């Protein structure tokens, strides 16, 4: 198996990402922390069979959380905003509740 299959973890489905998807043809994904823009672009193009115009990434630091007197920390993570080229079919996700 290629690394391409592991780069994309899951789509980010929030109010903001839904608005960006509808208005700007941009889809948000949670990706591996060490993935670069070229790997993300290649993974989206091969898996979903679409053409990618640009990729923007953002790193997020995990929040500190406590349970009683014990302190813990959520893991750091990375988000990628993938903009599709004009005329490409939008990627659709189904939410399982």
Q: In this predicted structure, what is the pLDDT of residue 15?
A: 94
Instruction: Please report the DSSP string for 1-68 in residue order.
Output: --THHHHEEEE--SHHHHHHHHHH-EEEEEE-TT--HHHHHHHHHHHH---EEEEEEEEEPPPEEEET
Would you list the domain boundaries of the chain? Answer: 4-84
Q: Are 6 and 88 in contact (CB under 8 A)?
A: no
Give tens-digit pLDDT for 32-87.
Answer: 999 999 999 999 999 999 999 999 999 999 999 999 999 999 999 999 999 999 99
The token pair at 50 is: 């679409």
Q: Are 24 and 83 in contact (CB under 8 A)?
A: yes
Domain 4-84 CATH superfamily: RRM (RNA recognition motif) domain (3.30.70.330)
Quote the pTM value: 0.87
């Amino acid at each position: 198996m290629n690394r391409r299959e592991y780069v994309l973890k899951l789509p980010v489905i929030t109010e903001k990402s839904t608005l960006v998807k509808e208005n700007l043809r941009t889809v948000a994904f949670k990706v591996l922390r060490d993935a670069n823009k070229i790997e993300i672009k290649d993974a989206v193009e091969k898996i979903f069979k679409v053409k990618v115009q640009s990729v923007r990434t953002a790193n997020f630091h995990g929040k500190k959380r406590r349970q009683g007197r014990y302190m813990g920390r959520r893991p750091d993570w990375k988000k990628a905003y993938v903009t599709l080229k004009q005329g490409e079919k939008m990627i659709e996700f189904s939410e399982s509740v």
